[in-house]
Amino acid sequence: MNQLLNEIRKKDAKAFTHGGKFHADDVFSAALLLYLNPEIQISRGNQVPEDFDGIVFDIGRGAYDHHQKDSRIRENGVPYAAFGLLWEALGAEILGEELALSFDETFVQPLDNNDNTGEKNELASLIGNFNPAWDAEGGTDEAFFQAVSVAGMILENKFERCRGNERADRRVEEILAEQERAIKAGEIPAENRQILILPEFVPCQKHLSETEIAFVIFPSNRGGYCIQPQKREYSLNYKCSFPSAWLGLENEELEAASGIAGAVFCHKGGFLMTTETLEEAVQAAKISLAEFHEAPVLVNFGGGEEAEALLQKLPGLTGVKIVRMALPELPELNEDGIFTEVAMEKQEWKNRIKAQVKAILKEKPEAVYVEGEVFYTYPVVHALRKKHVPVLTMIKKEERKLLIKIPSGS
């Protein structure tokens, strides 16, 4: 039995944290306790009262504080803050072991890292902005509990989303198994195996990226049917796209361009099409599959022929088109002995990087290979990773040269 959970759920449960300026760490810690027991009494102060026998967090150097010298660090190097320490003890009780670990990685760790290192985090900034202005009269308790209320709503929504995603994964597995059975039984033509028909909308993009499913069809809540192309694994690109002549059209214009009588709408971004009937939706997907002949693209940013020879051998990219882009020219510099700085205003430098990244993304690459001095490559790599574009580089292991994907979070 979870001793901390029992303590939280006592009828007269109480907790204590530090007073003064608050951060996302103590705010979300308090919200977590209140999620488990809305009646728990949380008080704040500069020192834990000697006779206090409740739960203490983010102060006092106990089990749920992280300000002591021997504070704990996760195996991946992310230090625990109070929220992470409480989540470690309570998360599995809320979401189960597997989802709790995932929630720690995606939601808790960024907040813990922000509190320990100051690394920028938009949610932490939002919570921090609840602190009163520097010259405001009165204390911070009222603002703290306002922030806790908001954090509580965020947690409730995040927990429900996690559970919903788990239900969606199970449902998609059921639908895929049923489709495979129907194909083997001859109820669905084998040539339609790249088209998945959902009886109802289910979030499935992440689940389908590693399958051969190229299009998903499901009933629209506005009537008719939706067709959505599915992205390749580790890519921003679709396995198959709608014909470019359809994009941005609707009704009669789309019917004329596609030859499909009940075609209703095709988004100019190519991520959605709608039809009046299921049969027309399947027809749209089949036409798209038949007409799609786009070769995968890799951008070689700064590399030479040696890199391209390796890129040609990447698995799953038969017929890949490699677009070579040279590193930019060295900008004007302000030199002072051995030290130099770029002679550009901050915005001018930002615009330069933005233009480079825009030129790369225009090619719609599956991934971008980078090679060259850090001054030239780092700003581009950083921008690409923020956009979740896979970035490759070359390493040498013993006598072999290998392509390696730069991990997320780098």
Domain extents in the chain: 3-164, 189-291, 297-405
Q: Mean of the pLDDT values across residues 88-97?
A: 97
d(CA 193, CA 51) in angstroms, rounded, equals 68
> How would you label 174-199 residue by residue, b for 16+ Cβ within 10 Å and e otherwise?
ebbeebeeeeeeeebeeebbbbbbbe
Q: State the average pLDDT for the chain.
A: 94
- DSSP-assigned beta bridge partners for residue 169: none
Percent of the chain with pLDDT over 90: 87
- Per the structure block, which two tokens stand in for 195? 């088209």
Task: Kindly tell me if the per-residue pLDDT of 1 is higher than 70.
Answer: no
CATH level 3 topology of 297-405: Rossmann fold (3.40.50)
d(CA 255, CA 247) in angstroms, rounded, equals 12
- DSSP-assigned beta bridge partners for residue 259: none
- Which helix (H) or strand (E) element contains residue 347? helix 346-361
Least confident residue range of 139-143, 206-210, 290-294: 206-210
pTM equals 0.79
Q: Mean of the pLDDT values across residues 61-86?
A: 95
Task: Kindly tell me if the per-residue pLDDT of 391 is higher than 70.
Answer: yes
d(CA 125, CA 116) in angstroms, rounded, equals 14
Q: What confidence score (pLDDT) does residue 408 get?
A: 66
